[in-house]
Structure 1
Amino acid sequence: MNTDCQPSKAVLHVQTLGDLQILANGESLPMLPSRKSRALLGYLLLGGEVQRRERLCELLWDSPRDPRGALRWSLSKLRTLLEQGGADCLSGDRERVVLDLSALQVDLYRIRAQVGDPDA
């Protein structure tokens, strides 16, 4: 998975340090409505690889009610937000979810690249 996020390819800029924000053309997009949805975005951004839906449910939704339904709802909201900004970068199937970082410029990855240590 690409975590280098080339600025020339980036459609959206994501600020993870400080308040979580997504910017399109310098304008802040409305943030996701729930804390769990924002946590999901952060996990997908910083995880940098394909995630199993089961693992995401265990990590974020400990309620026995309907964690898969809650995950579907959050993914739907996240997909809508990203597409609103022009980035069709969230995909998955019945078992897995992945966020393609090539359409995103993430502040943390940019800082790591400037420091010269991608594992810092």
Structure 2
Amino acid sequence: MIDSAYPIVEVPDLEAALRFYRDGLGANVVYRFPPTGDPVYVTLQTGTSQLGLGLAEGATAGAGAGAGILLWFYVEDVDETTAALAASGVTVIEEPSDTEWGERVSLVADPFGTRVRLGQPLSPQPDEE
């Protein structure tokens, strides 16, 4: 039985991935290998979750329609984060909008086409209005 899960996204350009996940989304690098020189693998901390990024020559990550991978990150302000990413050249697939289940969400793509959903809870929740 599964005790926990740890997603690793294989990317062809680790520095471009770090610009998106670390610089754009604010994740912190908590591990890198090797410890000196150019890393081939990093672990990022995002709140209470971790995400691995591994350098893999020829990797396509989430590129292409129906690639089957979606990452979801809760952020403090979906509109602000989406706008900042767009200003840095990130592709915005879906602009921020409110959902019927009580979250504000947007959808962006990392530099390799991996879809990344950004979300934040709405206040008040729809059933509290």
Say whether the fold is shared (TM-score over 0.5).
no
Q: Name the one with the larger strand percent.
A: 2
Compare relative contact order (CA 8 Å, sep 6+) and give the higher one, 1 or 2. 1
TM-score normalized by structure 2?
0.29
Which structure would you say has the larger Rg? 2
